[in-house]
Structure 1
Amino acid sequence: MRDAYVVGAGQSDFGAFPDESYRSLFRTAFEAAVASVPKGFDPAAVDEAVVGTLGVGGRQLGLSGPAVTEHVGLGGVPCTRVENACAASGFAVRQAVQAVRSGMADVVLAGGFEVMTDASADATKYWLGVSGETEWERLSGTTFAGTYAQMAGVYADRYDLPRERLSQVAAKNHENGAKNPHAQLGFECSVEDAESAPVVADPLTLYHCCPTSDGAACVLVASEDVVAEYADEPIRIAGVGAGSDRVGLFQREDLARIPASERAAERAYEAARIGPDEIDFAEVHDCFAIAELLAYEDLGFCERGEAGDLVAAGATERGGDLPVNTSGGLKSKGHPIGATGAGQVVEAFEQLSGTAGERQVAGATRGLTHNVGGSGGAAVVHVFEREESEEVGA
């Protein structure tokens, strides 16, 4: 199959935007993606589009993909909507890669959007809840935070994890997010701030939880046959892996791991012909601080029970051996559900293009994104590599 490359990626700001619509946010992200293509890009080159969204608030549940692609001028381009909860646009990127690799398309737009802040708190809880097991978890009163709190409790009891480690994750990601102009919570917080914040679901405090967000993100994926038209040093999608699992926690054997992430990572590494020790940076799904710690282990960055040690040693800070969530992650940058996975790819694209500004990881040539749906019902992992011009098509 043909190689696939990211030739452009962009996003809107993430936050609360009462004067914006899902269409306008998507237009902002699309225009940013087009502007980021090194050698220029004509939107008429797009052969197909894949758009991820959950549809929070019930807006345009049917045909929401064509609703945004038509708005940005891609009239008549085939468009498919993907819904996999919080992993919707991560899976949209995966579908774009498959279309390019199969030969069905030379250029595919993958993106996502969500508007979450115009609904009441109760309505937002409902829409977050539909990403979990509805009948036996959500309708019995379990919240999204409550689900991850159960996972945090099991992990902490098994591995003697102090809550301070969760707070260190939050402080790290806020430090990165403070350097990201697109971040919703673009301010620093200390470990003490996170420790003393109100408890949302024990042991998780407010600063251990991501915000609800509005936003959009877009990624342009091109085949090896046309990539030279858009970039001299393109970003190759070296590996893609996906996995799924039981949606409800009560259906799982172990709450201290996410098997869907393990399966997705294994497949992505195998496709890329690398191991986790060859990754230079990663964007992982930190909807709650415990989720980032679980990701360290599920993705093979450390052994079981060692995630707390990794963050305590500073290894995942921007200047550490393996920077994680240089964008600020979901925790600081924000989590507009349908846009999150594509937004992670935006950060990977900027890091590997050397355009990440103050967040830049020096010498980075290979990065990973990890996007999870709900509490682990689905997960997708992408591995990206920067290539020199003479390597393209080799």
Structure 2
Amino acid sequence: MHSAASAPARAAFPVSSVPAPTTAPRLAGVASSPVREILALTARPEVISFAGGLPAPELFDVAGIRAAYDKVLAENPHHALQYSTTEGDPELRAAIATRLTARDLPTEPDDLLVTTGSQQALTLLTTVLVEPGDVVLVEDPCYLAALQSFGFAGARVVPVPTDDQGVIPEALEEIAAREKPTLLYLVPTFQNPTGRTLPAERRSAVAGAAARLGFWIVEDDPYGELRYDGERVPCIAADPVAADRTVLLGSFSKVMAPGLRLGFLRAPAGLRRACVIAKQAADLHTSTIDQAAAARYLRDSDLDAHVAVIRAAYRERRDAMLEGLPAALPDGSRWNRPEGGMFVWVTLPAGHDATALLKTAVGHEVAYVPGAPFFTGRPDPAAMRLSFTTHSADEIRDGLHRLARCFA
């Protein structure tokens, strides 16, 4: 008899004589997210990380969210724990519609589909709109997870040049006329990664180009409520010129809690119905209890007041970063002053490589995201993204002092 100690080890996955099929070829051109890899690299508590675009956890309204779950489970547990409709909780959709209407975007509950985060909304749209080889236009640089989504679909991603105010309308017009795209993907307000906001006149130009040339606009708006300065700019979706071809994506991740994984899309009826079918195939519906708790939170709590608290904290942190950058960065560096959102976009002087510098920075216990991976066109090696939301003003100052030592 063999003892447990002497028994031969068994492979967790025994090897058979005929290999299993390989993964789908479409995976070959899709890279993992460098931001996620950097977050894993810098998870040590002693590292001050400007890398992640994460909401500040100490600002979550834990008591209010807990109370919402308690009430949902106490009052109607059988509903909260059951399957539900694909379109989403009616009370939650009504609350979202009310909030969008208050932002000068008239919306009915039936205009909306609740999704498992706005990332799923983008995936559903890509599923129903994009065939392999179709052209998708993106601003350059662009949100990384969008590039992953389009890569999985086999799209041909074409960058549209940008300047300090976002997409350049003349370039968009020329490229769209030449490439015949299926859609244009934009984060027009406090863009990830640059923090830029597309001005109203450029939004009108984008709407006009879509109407003339026949492509969809996917307007991703996760940061729109995080404005610290200036006046709100109307959504592209509110422009009647392109209302029939604009999809708005929204999220509760930045204003309530990302762990809820609650987002939504607002789309014309035909496209929305197609996304409902795609969602049925993906996950049937978004979590019933999480939707019910969010709806109850919106009924019982003042989300606008909570967002005001978040904005005040983030404004202080943004200002601390902007005040510290001149001493932290080498002469000749450039950076923007975002009016909201989570990010400052930095361009180091010629000859600097932000990717190569990251290892040195981590050695000084500070981190950021190099800008190069965000580009679909020619990358700028000197670019870097700094997030200011997850550290206090004093921690930001300390982190910038550490960053300065990288250039000493």
* Bin for the TM-score computed over the shorter chain: under 0.3
- Which structure carries more strand by proportion? 1
- Which structure carries more helix by proportion? 2
- TM-score, structure 1 normalization: 0.26
Which protein is bigger by CA-based radius of gyration?
2
Return the structure number with greater relative CO, CA threshold 8 A, min gap 6.
Answer: 1
- TM-score, structure 2 normalization: 0.26
